[in-house]
Amino acid sequence: MHTIQQTFKVSYSYPVIFTRGLFAHDNVVLANLLRGSGRESNRALVVIDSEVARLTPGLLELIGNYAQIHSPVIEFVAPPFLVRGGEICKHEPLEVDRIHYLVERHRLCRHSFIIAIGGGAVLDAAGYAAATAHRGIRLIRLPTTVLAQNDAGVGVKNGINAFGRKNFLGTFAPPFAVINDLDFLKTLDERDLRSGIAEAVKVGLIRDREFFDSLYAERAELADFSPVAMERMIVRCAELHLEHIAGAGDPFECGSSRPLDFGHWNAHKLEELTGSELRHGEAVAIGIALDSLYSRNKGLLNELDLHRILTMLEDIGFALYHPALSWLDVGKALQEFQEHLGGGLSIPLLKGIGTRIEAHEIDIQLMKRCIGILAERSALKRAPSLGRKRPHLKPEKRNGAPIPKNDSK
């Protein structure tokens, strides 16, 4: 037997830029970015969420004019390609197939660009198309939602749904750059504005208590979508997300642990069970509430921290229960999440705000009881005049003695 062991390292670097009015003629962010590509002229295909185009009058003309003003640095090979926004563009292969077709038709190469403009779902689908055409065309992401600007759009993952499973097909492919144009947030309705806040709460809970405390202190401003509070939240959340990708040592998720998916094992199933009626962030808020409640009743999280988490989510405007939770097969959902990660089961739980542990076993019956508690909490909020007390489970016992409460501040 003869073995040759191959070992090599690849370094990745990409900027996440915050700006306003990206396609204004005097905004040189995109032009300067492409000047740094190493080529005098850069051929690009623009892929844009059709709803973003509809809600931003004149955007398509601005994009076309921008290329003319900054020629020859930028050459758009075709008018912007409009794709359906939301999960539909990930459920059906039409958009991905069409992008592949346009890449071939216009003879884009691996040194060309796909510029994707839209929410997380559009960025996922366009990113998957870019990563699989010619084994990878340079991708510039322009996230247009809170959720995409602070989380989904700044990472290294792309994916589409298949076989009834969210993100079953996908790639790990870092973008060439991410440009967050904060003006796009003006096009969002309240549900989409609120949805992105859930990921910021999640990041604060697992990585940075100070960030969570600042969100908690500004929850009234966030509930009103104050631009200053929202922008501060987006920038810090994106920063923490990027720090985790760079510093956790597993950016392509070769291991079984995925701490950034706190609250996600059930959130993904809720999206599937509701046919994406629940926005991703709305499902994540429920997932955060459920896993926080489970953490409390495993003796990991103290009562005050649990209260602050649930209060914050509710004050921002999230519902912490949906009837689909009663349809959830907990054991099957955990198994599917484990298969998606690979290796052993690894579920992030909270051991105090800002501190997490990885749980490799989940008490399914306890998790079901926690779902029941959220259901009753929701019912009480809908009928406060009943005057019934909110139930909670007592921390479990170990060797006959109660597990000590975590009273860390």
Which H or E run contains 141?
A: strand 138-143
User: 187, 216, 239 — which closes off a domain?
Assistant: 187
CB 213 within 8 A of CB 134: no
**276 and 384: one domain?**
yes
> Looking at the domain assignment, is residue 401 inside a domain?
no
Tens of pLDDT, residue by residue over 65-80, are 999 999 999 999 999 9
Helix spans in 8-119 (H)? 29-35, 50-55, 59-69, 88-91, 94-105
- Find the angle CA(63)-CA(184)-CA(202) to the nearest 5 degrees: 135
The amino acid that residue 39 corresponds to is: R
CA–CA separation, 274 and 66 (whole Å): 41
Q: How far is CA 30 from CA 42, 99, 108, 110, 289, in A?
A: 11, 22, 19, 19, 40
CA–CA separation, 38 and 50 (whole Å): 31
CA–CA separation, 91 and 94 (whole Å): 9
**270 and 178: one domain?**
no
CA–CA separation, 155 and 280 (whole Å): 16
**152 and 295: one domain?**
no
> Looking at the domain assignment, is residue 271 inside a domain?
yes
CA–CA separation, 234 and 241 (whole Å): 10
| Domain of residue 326, CATH code | 1.20.1090.10
> Tokens representing 61?
């003309």
> Looking at the domain assignment, is residue 225 inside a domain?
no
pLDDT of the residue at 394: 47
User: 156, 187, 218 — which closes off a domain?
Assistant: 187
**280 and 167: one domain?**
no
> Looking at the domain assignment, is residue 351 inside a domain?
yes
Write the CB contacts of 386 (distance below 8 Å, at least 6 apart in sequence). 380
> Looking at the domain assignment, is residue 117 inside a domain?
yes
Structure pTM? 0.86
**268 and 143: one domain?**
no
> Looking at the domain assignment, is residue 45 inside a domain?
yes
CB 58 within 8 A of CB 131: no
> Tokens representing 245?
């990708």
Tens of pLDDT, residue by residue over 117-130, are 999 999 999 999 99
Tokens 């796009």 locate to: 184
CA–CA separation, 70 and 272 (whole Å): 43
CB 352 within 8 A of CB 407: no
**299 and 153: one domain?**
no
What is the SS3 assignment for 11? coil
**179 and 262: one domain?**
no
pLDDT of the residue at 259: 56
Write the CB contacts of 162 (distance below 8 Å, at least 6 apart in sequence). 168, 169
**262 and 117: one domain?**
no
> Tokens representing 50?
């059709």
> Looking at the domain assignment, is residue 79 inside a domain?
yes
The amino acid that residue 292 corresponds to is: S
Q: Roughly what angle, to the nearest 10 degrees, separates helices 209-217 and 303-316?
A: 50
pLDDT of the residue at 13: 92
**25 and 172: one domain?**
yes
The residue range of the domain holding 355 is 257-395
**177 and 291: one domain?**
no
Contacts 24+ apart (CB under 8 A), 131-134: 131/158, 131/171, 131/173, 132/96, 132/100, 132/171, 133/99, 133/100, 133/103, 133/104, 133/108, 134/103, 134/108, 134/109, 134/110
Looking at the 3D structure of the chain, how many domains does it have? Answer: 2
pLDDT of the residue at 247: 72
| Domain of residue 152, CATH code | 3.40.50.1970
**167 and 42: one domain?**
yes
> Looking at the domain assignment, is residue 166 inside a domain?
yes
Block means of pLDDT (10 residues each) for the chain, 409 residues, are 92 94 96 93 97 95 96 96 92 92 97 97 96 97 96 91 89 96 95 95 95 98 97 96 77 60 90 90 97 97 97 97 94 88 86 94 96 94 56 45 40
Q: How far is CA 350 from CA 261, 291, 384, in A?
A: 12, 8, 29
User: 164, 187, 210 — which closes off a domain?
Assistant: 187
**261 and 145: one domain?**
no
Write the CB contacts of 66 (distance below 8 Å, at least 6 apart in sequence). 23, 25, 30, 31, 74
Residues linked to residue 97 through DSSP beta bridges, in sequence order: none
pLDDT of the residue at 390: 44
